[in-house]
């Protein structure tokens, strides 16, 4: 018996000592290829899109004009509300910008690469530092610009002077950039817990700052912060953010060379998925992609035994899902502030609209179960219930939360701020109607079907569009406006409840709209068969006579 082949020693083949090209050369090569295939120069493309360019310029000028006018008007205001807003809102924008920058960075990378780059470039023995450093600098610069716009805008709209606007624009821009650099440094060692904790901390600070503005406007607290002190705080934030940015950027750059390919391409895949969903204006799909990514990150959970049987099992499971990931509940609780803030700031007439829109946005994550059960139909088919029953079962928990929300915001509508003359019953009805608007809008947004490109297109001035493409953008907002319109126009809020009830009936029965369509199709088939039978009988009779 001969010895197995594995026992024979074989040396690996000699690999030739090749010197890989610098990434810059590779990038230039790719750019040359792309340019070689381009059919237009940038100037030509802009000439072709001159309508869009002029429209953007005009719109930009108008927005700038509105901001400057608002800034001049608000800067004249010396009431306690205006002063506290001027002092605190830029700080709230600053902390919110950091929280958002950290959250978005953690979601996407922040340093990322497309799947093609991952396969073709990152597989080669080239320096990742050299390849990715310009990308890191690019996203940090983008964050600086975005943060500066937000910071400048908020401080301008609160009536701050030029120095204040510039200081807070720079501070917010630098802080957003520092947040991105910090997240990139954490990405380099594949740790995200600290990024998450810092993000929550800054988010909480933003909420506290907003609450302080509301409390000051309502006269609950007296804030002795002057505009000068606000400017000083802004300057301190510039120094602090700049220092953090510098340190984080150096650390992030040093860690770029060790960053794993999967950590780069996963963010790229997410971006391409989300951009595809946005291109189809399918916001639901974009959210599904993010939710799926989060679930993949979590990966494993401790299983929890269900409760009860039948439809109740579905409702209990929704409650258990919420207990597992309770963050959406905190967001709903956060929106309780909105009607109080709106009333305190003297915007009583539009409080229901603002509050309903805020609740609508906060309710969407609570309808995760409804989304999964309605987006394809495959899972719902496994359950021995009608779709109406399933919808009711999985909407029960969000419904209870909306009811609690109505109770919590009812005082905002009654004898708070400028809400003089409202009876308790009227204020309670307004709170319930506003909660119903937010709840139903969330439900409508969640159950939106993706655009069906297989259906006949509709001819528009913008070209052929599939039906429902644009309407999908307004789903949910339409319910908010429809239900709150009577309150906005000063009618009895009972009318809002009536509209909400009708909208609810439609939303819960959409399914059975499909059943009705199926029945109609069946009836049409039956009528067609009867017609054919009658024709056959007549023809048979005629042949008999011949």
Nearer to another protein, 295 or 494 (CB): 295
Give the CA angle between residues 122, 123, 127 to the nearest 5°. Answer: 50
Question: At closest approach, how far in Å is the CB of 320 from another protein?
Answer: 8
Nearer to another protein, 369 or 417 (CB): 369
Question: At closest approach, how far in Å is the CB of 316 from another protein?
Answer: 8
Interface with another protein, residue 444, by CB under 8 A: no
Could you tell me the two tokens for 423? 């009876």
* Integer angstrom CA distances of residue 445 from 77, 108, 155, 356, 372: 39, 24, 33, 14, 13
Question: At closest approach, how far in Å is the CB of 394 from another protein?
Answer: 10
- What are the φ/ψ torsions at residue 129 (nearest 5 degrees)? -60, -50
Subset of 255-294 contacting another protein (CB under 8 A): 291-292, 294
Contact mark string toward another protein, 491..530, x via CB under 8 A: --------------------xx-xx--x--xx--x-----
Alpha-carbon distance of 35 to 182, in angstroms, equals 35
Candidate residues 321, 465, 485, 488; the one interacting with another protein per rule CB under 8 A? 321
- Within its chain, how far is the Cα of 129 from the centroid? 32
Q: Locate tokens 């940038």: which residue?
A: 42
Candidate residues 62, 243, 295, 350; the one interacting with another protein per rule CB under 8 A? 295
Question: At closest approach, how far in Å is the CB of 120 from another protein?
Answer: 25
Do 211 and 337 form a contact (C-beta atoms < 8 A)? Answer: yes
**504-535: string of b/e by CB count within 10 Å (b at 16+)?**
beebbebbeeeeeeeeeeeeeeeeeeeeeeee
Do 339 and 415 form a contact (C-beta atoms < 8 A)? Answer: no
List, in order, residues 6 or more apart from 316 with CB less than 8 Å away: 306, 307, 308
Alpha-carbon distance of 274 to 269, in angstroms, equals 9
Contact mark string toward another protein, 328..357, x via CB under 8 A: ------------------------------
Q: Residues for the chain: how many in total?
A: 546
Candidate residues 20, 80, 306, 346; the one interacting with another protein per rule CB under 8 A? 306
Q: Which stretch binds another protein (CB under 8 A): 51-59, 107-115, 131-139, 313-321?
A: 313-321
Nearer to another protein, 180 or 285 (CB): 285
Question: At closest approach, how far in Å is the CB of 332 from another protein?
Answer: 17
Interface with another protein, residue 240, by CB under 8 A: no
Interface with another protein, residue 298, by CB under 8 A: yes
Count of residues binding another protein (CB under 8 A)?
50
Could you tell me the two tokens for 410? 């009812």
Candidate residues 12, 16, 36, 303; the one interacting with another protein per rule CB under 8 A? 303
- Within its chain, how far is the Cα of 154 from the centroid? 21
How many other C-beta atoms can be found within 10 angstroms of the C-beta atom of residue 1?
Answer: 3
Contact mark string toward another protein, 359..398, x via CB under 8 A: ---------xx--xx-xxxxx-xxxxxxx-x---------
Positions in the binding site for another protein (CB under 8 A): 291-292, 294-296, 298-311, 313-314, 317, 321, 324-325, 368-369, 372-373, 375-379, 381-387, 389, 511-512, 514-515, 518, 521-522, 525
């Amino acid at each position: 018996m001969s010895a197995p082949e594995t026992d024979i020693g074989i040396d690996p083949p000699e690999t030739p000592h090749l010197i890989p090209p610098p990434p810059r050369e590779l990038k230039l090569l790719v750019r040359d290829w792309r340019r070689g295939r381009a059919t237009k120069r940038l100037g030509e493309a802009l000439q072709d899109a001159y309508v869009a360019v002029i429209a953007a310029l005009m719109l930009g000028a108008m927005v700038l004009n509105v901001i400057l006018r608002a800034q001049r008007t608000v800067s004249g205001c010396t009431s306690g509300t205006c002063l506290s807003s001027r002092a605190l809102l830029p700080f709230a924008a600053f902390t919110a910008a950091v929280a958002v920058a950290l959250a978005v960075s953690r979601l996407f990378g922040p340093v990322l690469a497309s799947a093609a780059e991952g396969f073709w470039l990152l597989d080669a023995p080239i320096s990742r530092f050299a390849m990715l450093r310009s990308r890191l600098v690019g996203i940090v610069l983008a964050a600086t610009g975005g943060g500066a716009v937000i910071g400048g805008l908020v401080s301008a709209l609160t009536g701050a002077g030029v120095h204040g606007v510039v200081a807070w624009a720079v501070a917010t821009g630098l802080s957003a950039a520092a947040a991105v650099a910090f997240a990139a440094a954490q990405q380099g060692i594949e740790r995200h817990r600290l990024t998450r904790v810092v993000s929550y901390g800054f988010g909480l600070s933003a909420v506290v700052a907003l609450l302080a503005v509301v409390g000051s406007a309502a006269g609950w607290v007296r804030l002795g912060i002057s505009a000068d002190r606000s400017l000083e705080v802004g300057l301190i934030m510039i120094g602090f953010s700049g220092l953090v940015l510098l340190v984080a950027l150096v650390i992030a750059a040093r860690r770029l060379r060790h960053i794993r390919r999967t950590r780069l391409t996963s963010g790229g895949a997410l971006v391409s998925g989300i951009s595809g969903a946005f291109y189809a204006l399918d916001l639901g799909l974009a959210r599904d992609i993010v939710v799926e990514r989060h679930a993949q990150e979590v990966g494993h959970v401790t299983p929890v035994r269900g409760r009860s049987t039948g439809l109740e099992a579905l409702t209990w499971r929704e409650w258990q899902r919420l207990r597992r990931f309770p963050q959406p509940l905190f967001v709903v609780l956060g929106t309780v502030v909105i009607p109080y803030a709106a009333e305190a700031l003297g915007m009583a007439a539009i409080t229901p609209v603002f509050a309903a829109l805020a609740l609508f946005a906060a309710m969407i994550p609570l309808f995760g179960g409804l989304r999964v059960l309605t987006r394809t139909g495959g899972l719902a088919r496994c359950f021995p219930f009608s779709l109406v029953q399933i919808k009711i079962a999985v909407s029960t928990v969000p419904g209870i939360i909306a009811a609690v929300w109505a109770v919590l915001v009812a005082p905002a509508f009654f004898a708070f701020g400028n809400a003089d003359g409202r009876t308790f019953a009227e204020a309670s009805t307004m709170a319930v109607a506003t909660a119903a608007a937010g709840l139903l809008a969330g439900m409508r947004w969640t159950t939106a079907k993706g655009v069906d490109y297989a259906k006949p297109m509709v001819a528009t001035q913008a070209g052929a569009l599939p039906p429902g493409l644009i309407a999908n953008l307004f789903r949910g907002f339409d319910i908010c406006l429809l239900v709150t319109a009577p309150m906005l126009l000063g009618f009895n809020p009972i009318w809002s409840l009536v509209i909400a009830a009708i909208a609810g009936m439609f939303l819960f029965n959409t399914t059975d709209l499909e059943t009705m369509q199926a029945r109609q199709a069946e009836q049409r088939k039956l009528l067609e068969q009867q017609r054919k039978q009658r024709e056959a009988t007549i023809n048979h009779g005629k042949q008999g006579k011949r």
